[in-house]
Structure 1
Amino acid sequence: MNVIQAIILAIIEGITEYLPISSTGHMIIGASFLGIAEHPFTKIFEVNIQFGAILAVIVLYWKRFFQSFDFYIKLLVAFIPAAIIGFVLNDFIDSILENVWVVAISLLLGGIILIFIDKYFEQRTHKTEPNLKDSFVIGLFQCIAMIPGVSRSASTIIGGMFMGLTRKAAAEMSFFLAVPTMFAASAYKLLKGYKSGDLTFDNEQLMLLGVGNLVAFIVAVVAIKFFIEFLQKYGFKVFGYYRIVLGIILLALLYSGVDLKIV
């Protein structure tokens, strides 16, 4: 991996992590196109630059993180389901993460759901803050995103709207929940990479990780601001159509014999 490839992947991460379009699906395309999908460091890099995306949420919403202790209780309650299921089913999750067909089909089906989601929740979304029950249910919805291609952002936002939160409140809760979830997943993967020897923290790797996190942070800040404004005005339909098109492209590539690798 060179610096240009690192910047491209970081831009993909920053744009797609908080939008309901699946960062996994886009990483498959990006890494395969760049020809670095099979390199061991690529997977570690993609996991690590999530820290830049996490920092974007903390910087944009720093006041919320100092608002009250209740805020952290809700995050903990929402985080628990994914923590338990992720730990218990870690090997299974890693195995399906290697299946590009799962990603393509998830993108397609998720896109269809997003097209109709606004109309379905039109009369049900009114709350601006989740309670503990809402937080737990949102955490359960997050577990669906362990299926590659589903999108953590999409599943948690839909979970929030299912519990009566407005689009904005559901999206912001999704952002907040990303902080402990992505931090735990990233730290675990980094530890595994270090133990396996794929992560050596040499000068080149440190430089690539530094550039990647910086770019991911900057792009994620812009993406989050854009998403909140766009979501309030236009809803989910555009993202739904986009997912369908991307899913069809992936399926077409697979049917044509293109060897796509999950990284």
Structure 2
Amino acid sequence: MTTMTTLSAAAPDASIGITWAQTIILSIVQGLTEFLPVSSSGHLRIISQLLWGKDAGASFTAVVQLGTELAVLVFFAKDIWRILTGWFAGLFNKEARGFDYRMGWMVIVGTLPIAIIGVLAKDAIRDNLRNLWITATVLILFSFVFIAAEKYGRRKRDFEELTMKDAIIMGLAQCLALIPGVSRSGGTVSAGLFLNLDREVATRFSFLLAIPAVFAAGIFSLPDAFDPAAGQAASGAQLLVGTAIAFVVGYASIAWLLKFVAHHSFSWFAAYRIPVGLIVMALLGFGVMSAV
């Protein structure tokens, strides 16, 4: 109790800015947790408060996420190039409108819900929804969504069977990731499982669906990361290094997760999320951590 209180008391004020220790640790956490269904924003929020008694802020998180999305671009470069070329070809030639053309539109349409809600609810996302009681509660409750998705989803539909309906539903589910504790991949993959998609198919489409939204959020948040209305400011060097760290760690996380989901249930992550949520609640209840 005394140690945590001392850490919080010595933590830098938002006006002082993020330290290099924070930058490195939080960027590693971002890379490790962005693609796992454990909520990267939730973990960044928890670790920031636990170690430094301060919330680094949604803008810092959004910018560093660019590193993990660059990892997606590199990892799925062939798939992304094929979809892009197929989409552009289909725009000008009806005869070329195959699956890749449709996939391009599925990603675009599936991104619209989070783009609209992200802009309209920007203030709530950066302030009100970052309360740690909310994060801890969502970590626990949404774990049961994973369990239900695994239990009731038949996991029989392949990648070529994806439809616009799937994209819209998974796109709506992606909006839940705006709440720290839900998890972008957890929300979209669970929706995919309920739609009877194969687990690996749902995971791959989840990655593709995240690319436009995360890049837009990161670029949109760049000015605020230097001079945030909420959270701590970061320097250009810190954001650059943080993005690079998140890229390297994130690339390894993608490779591991795709191998894992090929043979294991998402329910394993629920077994991790529930104890973490309970621990955070206990720390909040005993005053070791502050909720805001």
Same fold (TM > 0.5): yes
1:1-263 equivalence runs, <5 A: 1-35=18-52, 37-38=54-55, 43-67=58-82, 68-69=86-87, 70=101, 71-121=103-153, 123-129=154-160, 130-194=162-226, 205-260=235-290
Give the counterpart letter for 2:80 in structure 1. Answer: F
CA distance in 1, matches of 2:204, 2:114: 18
Deviation at 1:36, TM superposition (A): 6.1
Q: How many pairs does the alignment contain?
A: 256
Contact 1:37 1:261 in 2 (8 A): no
In structure 1, distance between residues paired with 2:116 and 2:276: 31
Q: CA 1:179 to 1:34, structure 2 compared with 1: closer, same or farther past 3 Å?
A: same
| Partners of 1:5 and 1:180 in 2: CA distance | 27
CA distance in 1 between counterparts of 2:210 and 2:41 reads 15
Letter of the structure 2 residue corresponding to residue 209 of structure 1: L
- Equivalent-residue separation in structure 1 for 2:53 and 2:284 (angstroms): 18
Contact 1:13 1:50 (8 Å CA) reproduced: yes
Look up the equivalent residue of 1:253 and give its one-letter code.
Answer: L
Using the alignment, how far apart are the partners of 1:239 and 1:197 within structure 2?
A: 33
Aligned partners of 1:96 and 1:148 also within 8 Å: no
Deviation readout 1:198-221 (Å, 9 max, x if unpaired) = 99x9xx822222221111001101
- Could you report, residue by residue, the CA deviation over 1:95-136 in whole angstroms, capped at 9, with x for unpaired residues? 432321111110001122223432211x24322232222111
Aligned to 2:91: none
Amino acid at match of 2:257: F
Unaligned runs of 5+ in 2: 1-17, 88-100
Partners in 1 of 2:286 and 2:53 — Cα distance? 21
Partner Cα distance (1:44, 1:34) in 2: 19
Most deviating of 100-109 and 43-52: 43-52
**RMSD of aligned residue pairs (Cα, Å):** 2.3
Q: TM-score, normalised by structure 1?
A: 0.88
Q: Is the 8 A contact 2:114 2:172 kept in 1?
A: yes
Distance 1:154 1:26, change over 3 A: same
Over alpha carbons, which structure has the higher Rg?
A: 2
TM-score (norm 2): 0.80
